[in-house]
């Protein structure tokens, strides 16, 4: 299963080199990049940077905070949080190619001293108990069947009282998902929980849920706008860089899945 997931996300070799090539074609100077120049590819979740900033605010961070990003991907959320709050962020991801690219991209924008990335499994985190002040996970658990272990591990490595922000795609009431979607080309690596199941999983892991926010309508509008841009004037670098040529179909399916409420996007702000 782990191999199938990593192949889905990073079957195209050196991701940083591919991103650099596309940025240069668009006239960007790699030596003078800003985090905003990477926004179309490194915030690999619905509603992008705006959603990440919302989560960072909800975590109550300051410059002394050390944050864990579970399923850090290309490192966009880690960089956004570190830049916005002046804190340190450690990202962990199952896909080594993502960790390698995240490190390179962070150096490009001058944040290599505040973020770090390592390969690892969200259900068996390679960190000591009580290691982090806060944690976040964005669009990760859809690929994880053992969500109970994932959330128990997040609770274990958080200091008592630390906040955990979970922003994920959940199973909606509208029926089975249309595939392919960005997290899976077919159902075998897709493991969506319902909102009720999510609340139960988080509470069983030892979290108190302080706030729940359903952003499905905003997510639908965001993906509709993305699908429109993809069809008319796509940005220089998009998720297609690492997901492949069928990403436009994935985007169209996401619009349908959100419109038909086959999926929902929900955020949980929890406290250990």
Q: Please, what is the Cα angle at 46 between 144 and 136, to 5 degrees?
A: 55
Range of the domain at 226: 2-271
What was the pLDDT predicted at 89? 98
What was the pLDDT predicted at 248? 81
Give residues with Cβ within 8 angstroms of 121, minimum separation 6: 2, 94
What was the pLDDT predicted at 38? 85
Cα–Cα distance measured from residue 173 to residue 105, given in angstroms and rounded to the nearest whole number: 38
DSSP state of 38: G
Element (H, E) at 60: none
How many other β-carbons are positioned within 10 Å of the β-carbon of residue 269? Answer: 21
Determine whether 234 is exposed, middle or buried from the number of CB atoms within 10 Å of its CB (0-12, 13-18, 19+). middle
Q: Express the helix, strand and coil content of the chain in percent, nearest 5 each.
A: 45, 20, 35
Q: Give the Å distances, CA to CA, from 138 to 28, 56, 103, 190, 258.
A: 28, 12, 19, 15, 17
Helices (H) and strands (E) in the chain, counts: 11, 7
What was the pLDDT predicted at 21? 85
Cα–Cα distance measured from residue 40 to residue 185, given in angstroms and rounded to the nearest whole number: 21
234, two tokens: 């796509």
In this structure, what CATH number is given to the domain that contains residue 245? 3.40.50.150
What is the tally of structural domains in the chain? 1
40, two tokens: 């179309």
What was the pLDDT predicted at 223? 80
222, two tokens: 């965001």
What was the pLDDT predicted at 163? 98
DSSP state of 46: T
In which residue ranges of the chain is pLDDT below 70?
1-13, 230-231, 233-243
Residue 225 pairs in a beta bridge with none
């Amino acid at each position: 299963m782990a191999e199938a997931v990593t192949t889905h996300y990073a079957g195209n070799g050196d991701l940083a080199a591919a991103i650099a090539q596309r940025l240069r074609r668009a006239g960007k100077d790699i030596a003078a990049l800003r985090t905003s120049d990477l926004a179309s590819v490194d915030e690999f979740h619905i509603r992008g940077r705006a959603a990440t900033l919302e989560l960072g605010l909800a975590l109550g961070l300051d410059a002394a905070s050390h944050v864990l990003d579970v399923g850090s991907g290309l490192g966009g959320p880690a960089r956004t949080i570190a830049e916005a709050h002046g804190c340190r962020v450690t990202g962990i991801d199952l896909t080594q190619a993502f960790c390698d690219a995240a490190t390179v991209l962070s150096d490009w924008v001058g944040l290599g001293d505040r973020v770090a990335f390592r390969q690892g499994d969200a259900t068996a985190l390679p960190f000591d108990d009580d290691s982090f002040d806060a944690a976040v996970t964005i669009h990760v658990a859809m690929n994880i069947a053992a969500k109970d272990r994932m959330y128990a591990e997040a609770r274990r490595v958080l200091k008592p009282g630390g906040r955990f922000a979970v922003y994920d795609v959940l199973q909606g009431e509208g029926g089975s998902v249309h595939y392919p979607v960005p997290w899976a080309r077919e159902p075998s690596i897709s493991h969506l929980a319902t909102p009720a199941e999510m609340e139960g999983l988080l509470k069983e892991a030892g979290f108190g849920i302080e706030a729940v926010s359903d952003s499905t309508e905003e997510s639908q509008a965001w993906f509709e706008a993305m699908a429109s841009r993809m069809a008319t004037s796509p940005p220089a670098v998009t998720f297609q860089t690492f997901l492949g040529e069928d990403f436009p179909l994935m985007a169209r399916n996401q619009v349908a899945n959100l419109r038909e409420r086959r999926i929902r996007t929900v955020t949980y702000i929890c406290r250990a």
